[in-house]
Amino acid sequence: MPLFWIAFRLFLYPAEPSDTWKILYNEGAQALEQGEPREAAAHFERALALDRNNPKILHGLLIAELACGRTGPALQSGQKLLRILRTQPDFNLSMAAGGAFARHTQFAEAVEFFKLAQAHAPPTINGRSSGNYFDTLLAGLFAQMKQDHEAVAALKRLVRSEPGEPSHYYQLGLIEIKNADFEDAYKMLQHALERFPSSFEIRLAYALACYFTGRNDLAERSYRQLIEIRPDSGQPYFALGNFYADTGRDTDAVQAFAQATRLEPNNYLNQYMYGVELIRTEKISPAASALRKAVKLNPKHADSYYWLGKIYLLEDRRDLALKAFETAVQLEPKHIGAYYQLALLYKRGGQIDKARAASQKRMELTQALHGGIVAERMAPVQDNK
């Protein structure tokens, strides 16, 4: 639900100050159900501004940030949540947060949450003693962390033995970013750029490191320098568009993706992201055109059908919307947002059994992907009419 609708509803039916955060939290949970984590993050941020030490809000925010690919902010939210849970233990919340970080390959953060959960675990988990359960769980995470550390060590040896090969720096930067070693990646890639100032790959990795360390001005400058290196390629415009989208600069993102589509019109991802950002700037007709091109270029891209379905709903073309969402789940059986829309459309069409099945599937996926964030939703707030 757009934020202006929340403001309008609060204006009509003002909630008690202590309850306002619950409304925003619930809207964030609903946005996650709909497969729109960026919108969810905005709701959770507004809720957190009203109740800064609420562990459930922080959990919702880090879930949404991870789903958006905003690893740096998610790690910051995770550290805040850890501090709170150390004084206010919550086994289920610790497990959910650890699972979220593990699914997004942030294993060190996952270990911290799981160790905290272990300290407050029930005697048995899934029919096993909690000790055995956590021994197995942590052993798997430590093994993965060891592999990542060994990969970093191997790449560092390559950098030392073959300092004239830029690809080693690029690969090392990427894996350090993956491991959330953002500051180390930034410093290493900054040094690499001094050696290879015209390397497209190193500058691309450097731009990512700048973004993940909060150096957005440097990141934007680096993305624009990528355009100077390859002015006839759509790739740097696509990267710049993603940067603008991630930082909420939707109008700038539209312009960048538009240029990417002009340079590489047969790249379905260019058309897809162009269409999504056009929707976010409320340019529905050109958005539909871009998404139809994306579908034509790649008929197996589920998200293109999903966003087309959203457009058809805006146009009150329910039959086409239903078909688009059904295609989306056929192509991507774990598409939470499409199942959410299907449940609503089936119910409106009187197909109650299908509506129940779609709703059940959505809840199962939400539980698996978001650690029960929707199941843990706050009790409904009564409107003061």
- Say yes or no to pLDDT of 207 above 60: yes
Question: Which residue, of 81, 98, 128, is where some domain finishes?
Answer: 128
pLDDT confidence of residue 371: 65
Give the phi and the psi of residue 46 in degrees, each rounded to 5. -65, -40
* Alpha carbon separation from 193 to 79, 222, 290, 322, 346 (Å, rounded): 31, 11, 36, 50, 55
**Is 329 a member of any domain?**
yes
Counting the structural domains of the chain, the total is 2
**Is 98 a member of any domain?**
yes
* 124 membership: H or E segment, kind and range: strand 124-125
**Is 361 a member of any domain?**
yes
**Is 288 a member of any domain?**
no
**Is 166 a member of any domain?**
no
Question: Which residue, of 81, 112, 128, is where some domain finishes?
Answer: 128
Question: Which residue, of 128, 160, 192, is where some domain finishes?
Answer: 128
Domain containing 350 equals 318-377
pTM: 0.82
* Alpha carbon separation from 64 to 23, 102, 279, 350 (Å, rounded): 17, 15, 20, 32
What confidence tens digit (pLDDT) does each residue in 89-142 have? 999 999 999 999 999 999 999 999 999 999 999 999 988 999 999 999 999 999
Q: What percent of the chain lies above the pLDDT cut of 70?
A: 91
**Is 222 a member of any domain?**
no
Identify any residues that bridge with 124 across adjacent strands, giving them in sequence order. 129
* Alpha carbon separation from 168 to 130, 163, 182, 210, 285 (Å, rounded): 42, 8, 17, 19, 45
**Is 185 a member of any domain?**
no
Q: Give Cα 198 to chain centroid, integer Å.
A: 31
Domain harbouring 14, CATH code: 1.25.40.10
* DSSP codes, 236-262: HHHHHHHHHHHTT-HHHHHHHHHHHHH
**Is 31 a member of any domain?**
yes
Neighbours of 363 (CB within 10 A): 18
Banded pLDDT at 366 (limits 50, 70, 90): confident
